[in-house]
Amino acid sequence: MAEENRDNQEDIVKMFNDIAKTYDLANRILSMGVDKLWRKKACNMAFSFYGKTKLDSIVDVACGTGDLMIDWENVATQNGIKVDNIIGVDPSVGMMEVGKTKIPHRTFIEAGAESMPLDDQSADFISISYGIRNVVKRKEGLKEFARVLKKGGLCIILEFTKNDKNNLGAKLSKFYLNNLMPHIGGLISKNKDAYTYLPTSIENFITTKQLCDELKSVGLEPIFVKGYSLDMSTTFIARKI
């Protein structure tokens, strides 16, 4: 299974349930903590682009253990912004159970990205960090984001997009993902399959341009796109038009 492209959403959910308890520790070590900087920078940029001091709702899809939900809360406070509701959506109960211990005062909903039990035009922001790659019905998920977002609302995506370049940076990032990450992640989680899946899923994912095109096709216009750390991680901010 690990060597194949997981195209069954249930398999992916089970994998995340299996690694839920060690997920945060593995992330910190594998990214050397830089993933926290990527997320906080995205939050600050989104608030700046939106330009409002009060938001009704932020929905974090594939919320996992709630790291980005915490960042939304903290960055809003630092900027004097009031957010009434921060909602986490994820099909993995195991991941959300960890999240509930970290932010018990927030709402968690068990659901997939393509079918969220949320009202039309109810969210100011919809975010998904390192999760859109794991949504099997990705285009349906993006349509759902557009449905739930208010007009003028923002979709914030952080993801490991496929690097189709052949420069030194691309070679270094691929070497790390393919040769080091599976061993380190497997040692921490006792589940090497999960961390072998990661580089495979990135290689099988679409490019930055292709994701921008998919966002545009559902009425989400990219207003900021930038790669970080040798283009290993890309931040997308798109506005609902």
List pLDDT tens digits, range 94-121.
999 999 999 999 999 999 999 999 999 9
Query: Pairing between strand 220-228 and 233-240?
Result: antiparallel
Contact 120, 53 (CB under 8 A): no
- Model pLDDT, residue 29: 64
Please identify which residue in the block is written with the tokens 């750390």.
229
- Model pLDDT, residue 116: 98
- Model pLDDT, residue 13: 79
Q: Cβ atoms within 10 A of the Cβ of 241, count?
A: 10
- Model pLDDT, residue 1: 34
- Model pLDDT, residue 165: 66
32-162+206-240: which CATH topology? Rossmann fold (3.40.50)
Considering only CA atoms, give the Rg of the chain.
17
Q: pTM of the prediction? A: 0.85
CB-count burial class (<10 Å; 0-12, 13-18, 19+) for 87: buried
Question: Which residues of the chain register pLDDT less than 50?
Answer: 1-6
Query: Pairing between strand 149-159 and 107-110?
Result: unpaired
